[in-house]
Amino acid sequence: MTSNKAPIMQIIVPLLFVFFAIPGLIHGFITGAFKSSRDVVKAMENITKSLIPFIVFAFFCAQFLYVFSHSQIGTLIAIGGAEFLKALHLPSVVTIFGVIILTSMLNVLITSASSKWAILAPIFVPMLMSVGISPELTQAAYRISSAVNVSTPMFAFYPLIIAYCQQYCKNTGVGTLSSMMIPYTAALLIALTVNLLLFWFLDLPIGFDSGYVYPPVNN
């Protein structure tokens, strides 16, 4: 069903259009917001105008991301940081904390969870397995770094968030949004880290047939 070759996925764009357009038209005519087709067109024009800042920002952001991706700087930083962490030979708790800090720092530059995991997983998973940390715990620590997304301009949805914020505060920009979100990011990182440590120390399962040590200990 979700394969890109499935028939329904081939028509997903018109399906989404119909799914949202029909309820919107019905609501508009019932409430009186739309009285004729001209009102519908004008509403579409207003929505398009609100997206113009996002389109312009996305254009220049895409150029930067393209150059950054081909420079391989993100890959070099990720591999160098992982090798440094491996050389420290720290206790498991400190190592996991280091994973959270390192991936959070990388998340400022690489916000795509799948891309970053593709870079780090071949290094982190076997590296931490060799010191007795399970792959499940490694990924749980890795996922905490997503809390940084809302504070970095590299986040793919940042231009869209700024466009929405500007509807309420015209002077909102990258710096305004980043500085406003940093306290929330710090609080979320702390809360998620404490939550993971509580699960670990209380030996609560983090998934089906998942543990915290490698090789797994059979009870």
Q: What's the first-to-final CA gap in the chain, in angstroms? A: 40
pLDDT value of residue 12: 86
Written as one string, the DSSP assignment of 56-111 is HHHHHHHHHHHHHHHHTHHHHHHHHHHHHHHHH---HHHHHHHHHHHHHHHHTT--
Task: For residue 136, give every residue at least 6 positions away whose Cβ sits within 8 Å of its Cβ, in sequence order, or none.
Answer: 206, 207, 210, 211, 212
Q: Per residue of the chain (219 residues), what is the pLDDT tens digit?
A: 556 677 887 888 899 989 999 999 999 999 988 988 899 999 888 888 877 877 877 787 678 767 767 877 766 766 676 677 677 777 888 888 888 888 888 888 777 777 777 777 777 888 788 778 888 898 999 989 888 888 887 787 777 788 888 888 888 888 888 888 889 999 999 999 999 999 999 988 887 777 888 876 555
Given a contact cutoff of 8 angstroms between Cβ atoms, the answer to whether 120 and 82 are in contact is yes
Residue 158 backbone dihedrals phi, psi, to 5 degrees: -60, -45
pLDDT value of residue 75: 66
Q: Round to whole Å and give the CA distance between 169 and 155.
A: 20
pLDDT value of residue 52: 80
pLDDT value of residue 189: 92
Given a contact cutoff of 8 angstroms between Cβ atoms, the answer to whether 130 and 171 are in contact is no
Task: For residue 200, give every residue at least 6 positions away whose Cβ sits within 8 Å of its Cβ, in sequence order, or none.
Answer: 93, 96, 137, 212
pLDDT value of residue 191: 94
Q: Round to whole Å and give the CA distance between 6 and 157.
A: 28
Query: How many DSSP H helices and E strands does the chain contain?
Result: 9, 0
Q: Round to whole Å and give the CA distance between 41 and 32.
A: 15
Token pair for 186 = 């710090």
